[in-house]
């Protein structure tokens, strides 16, 4: 089951990424925004990168190094330059695994 798409109501949003054993991972985000926007992505307060959003849902793969994770709930942050960034889908898998 799914809660559906998520729309950021402010400039910063967080998602919980549970982790049993830290390892190198990749997070895939499908994001869109009504107007082009930069979205900074961080994990537990440390930078992972920046992606550019557009009106259509676009896939963004972000590397998550083992050193950035800890056992337990990790916080993936999205900081948007524009308003109403929409998260359509998110997946997390081991680094190098076949993409969605």
Phi, psi values for residue 67, rounded to 5°? -65, -20
- pTM of the entire structure? 0.84
**What pLDDT is stored for residue 1 in this prediction?**
40
Express each pLDDT in 47-82 by its tens digit. Answer: 999 999 988 889 999 999 999 999 999 999 999 987
Give pLDDT, residue 96.
77
Q: Does the structure show a pLDDT above 90 at 10?
A: no
pLDDT of 3 reads 58
Residue 39 confidence (pLDDT): 95
Separation in Å, CA 16 to CA 19, 43, 55, 75: 10, 10, 25, 5
Query: In residues, how long is the chain?
Result: 100
């Amino acid at each position: 089951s799914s809660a559906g798409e998520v729309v950021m109501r402010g400039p910063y949003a967080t998602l919980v990424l549970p982790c049993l054993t830290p390892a190198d991972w990749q997070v895939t985000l499908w994001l869109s925004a009504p107007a082009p926007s930069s979205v900074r992505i961080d994990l537990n307060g440390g930078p992972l990168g920046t992606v550019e959003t557009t009106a259509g849902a676009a896939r963004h793969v972000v590397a998550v190094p083992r050193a950035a994770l800890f056992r337990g709930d990790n916080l993936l942050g999205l900081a948007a330059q524009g308003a109403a960034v929409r998260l359509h889908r998110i997946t997390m898998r081991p680094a190098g695994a076949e993409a969605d």
